[in-house]
Amino acid sequence: MDKRELEQLRYIKKEIEYTQRRVDMADELVEKWTTSTVVEGSLPFFPYTKHRIRVRGIDMAGYEQEAKKLRRKWRAKLRKLTKKIGEATEYIESIADSEMRMLLTLRYVEGLSWQNIAQKIGVQGDGSAERKRVERFLKLS
């Protein structure tokens, strides 16, 4: 796993949230499928003249089919994104150095700035030393 893939984690997490909202709202996102037809009818009273009546409505079968199709597509995307996060997490957990695991988790999984990471692990400074350690580690691995 390289630096570019790790940097994508924070965006993947956001994309998962966005896609999950889309799955939940699939019914509202699908345009209502309207259909219309013409039927013949007559007046209910004498002289009972025959005339054409235009009837409009929602094609529920097409609407539900389209919503299911979108949900299936977005759930497949969720599985793919979740798999990427799992792979990155496994990679980070496989690192022997505890401090490096913590730095990588705080930066790429939690999405913290280097300064916040330095504060979180209890060191003085702006996090540049931690950033350099991580960059060196990723370059060598």
Can you spell out the DSSP letters for 43-55?
-SSTT--EEEEEE
The whole-angstrom separation of Cα 100 and Cα 137 is 8
SS3 call for 56: strand
* Per-residue pLDDT in tens (0 to 9) along the chain, 141 residues: 888 899 999 899 999 999 998 888 876 766 666 777 898 988 888 888 888 988 887 777 777 788 888 889 999 999 999 999 999 999 999 999 999 999 999 999 888 999 999 999 999 889 999 999 999 999 987
Amino acid at 80: K
pTM of the model: 0.67
Name the DSSP class of 37: E
The whole-angstrom separation of Cα 20 and Cα 68 is 14
Nearest to 6, CA basis, from 98, 105, 73, 80: 105
User: Which stretch of DSSP H or E encloses residue 67?
Assistant: helix 60-93
The whole-angstrom separation of Cα 11 and Cα 84 is 11
